[in-house]
Amino acid sequence: MAQIIPKNLVSVESNWQKELATAFTDPESLLHYLKLDPRQFSEDVAARKLFPMRVPRHFASLMHQQDRHDPLLLQVFPRAAEFDKVAGFTHDPLSEQHNTTPGLLHKYRSRVLLIVRGGCAVNCRYCFRRHFPYADNSPSRAQWDDALTKIAADETINEVILSGGDPLMAKDLALADLASKIADIASVKRLRIHTRLPVVLPHRVDTGLLSWLEALPLQRVMVLHINHVHEISPALVNAVSALKKIGVTVLNQAVLLRGINDSVDTQVALSEGLFDAGILPYYLHLLDKVAGAAHFEVSTGEAKRIVREMLLQLPGFLVPKLVREVAGEGSKSPIDLHCTAD
């Protein structure tokens, strides 16, 4: 087995876990923190029963106080519109809930996705897995071994993606052990981590995480999830710098969200801010049609208009690929910017 577990990993203090424990889970507490009147949100608060609210205090500190339309607040605060039943919006928009091996999704030919942890540090209201049965997809150690055996038996797989929930919700000792086993699979050359934790909880990029990542004998890619330039804090910039110093490639994927980042100026500012922070724009997703999130949808036609204008204002390497994910397809589906059909 690849030796990537530092001897002192167990003793590393988990400050991020202590910080996570103080996250806002009560909508009214968050409103009071932002100096907003809870009475103006009484109908919205009820939507927490559809999907719990969870907002780390670092992320809340990036919100503008007394602004009910703050783009970060709108991503995470329950809204009455979540009760609306809209045609085409389902509990399983990507048909992921019937996989045969717990925690293992093999949607694409050369790569597989492992659901490491079901929980997230922040519950984004548009999350396409807000109804995902994580209890049925939280594998035991024995089931991990079964999933890894299946990966090793398929020589076409050269990349393993750690996802969730958020994989960085797991402790570093468990992650290091899993990564060691992945590194022992001959065909695998890349480990990719999809995470929002460094954005909403930058202290997650600590010495424990950096130590096992640095020792991993694979190409390492971290894909962050940042939707608005206001999410790029000095603490995140420092975390990204630390990751890049040990050779981790850092990318970003965003979701186009109505009323949050659905303007050319907002998208240009995001791309510029990402690159200033050492992060390369990667994907801009059209909303996955998950039940409870229809109020976030931006039309395909409007999305194409925004990206076409971005191409006029930015160098090509700062314009993310506009894509949608279609259940059953072998890859993300790029959107043709010049096709007139929506």
Q: What's the pLDDT score for residue 108?
A: 77
Domain extent listing, the chain = 15-334
Pick one of 3.50.50.60, 3.20.20.70, 3.40.50.620, 3.50.30.50 as the CATH number of 15-334.
3.20.20.70
- What is the token pair recorded at 39? 């009475």
Q: Which amino acid is at 24?
A: F
Chain-centre distance of CA 49, in angstroms?
22
Count of H helices and E strands in the chain?
Answer: 12, 9
Q: What's the pLDDT score for residue 304?
A: 97
DSSP codes joined into one string, 261-290? T-SHHHHHHHHHHHHHTT-EEEEEEPPP-B
C-alpha–C-alpha distance, residues 77 and 44, integer Å: 8
DSSP codes joined into one string, 201-227? -GGGS-HHHHHHHHH-SSEEEEEEE--
Bridge partners of residue 90, in order along the sequence: 290
> Nearest-5° angle of CA 224, CA 255, CA 53?
80
> Nearest-5° angle of CA 129, CA 132, CA 134?
120
Q: What's the pLDDT score for residue 133?
A: 60
Report the candidate in 243, 197, 188, 254 with the shortest Cα–Cα distance to residue 221: 243
C-alpha–C-alpha distance, residues 5 and 19, integer Å: 24
Q: What's the pLDDT score for residue 14?
A: 72
C-alpha–C-alpha distance, residues 37 and 28, integer Å: 9
Per-residue pLDDT of the chain (342 residues; tens, 9 = 90+): 556 666 666 545 478 999 999 999 999 999 999 999 999 999 999 999 989 999 999 999 999 999 999 999 999 999 999 899 989 888 776 665 565 567 788 877 899 999 888 789 999 999 877 666 655 556 666 677 888 999 999 999 999 999 988 999 999 999 999 999 999 999 999 999 999 999 999 999 999 999 999 999 999 999 999 999 999 999 999 999 999 999 999 999 999 999 999 999 999 999 999 999 999 999 999 998 888 899 999 999 999 999 999 999 999 999 999 999 876 555 678 888 987 666
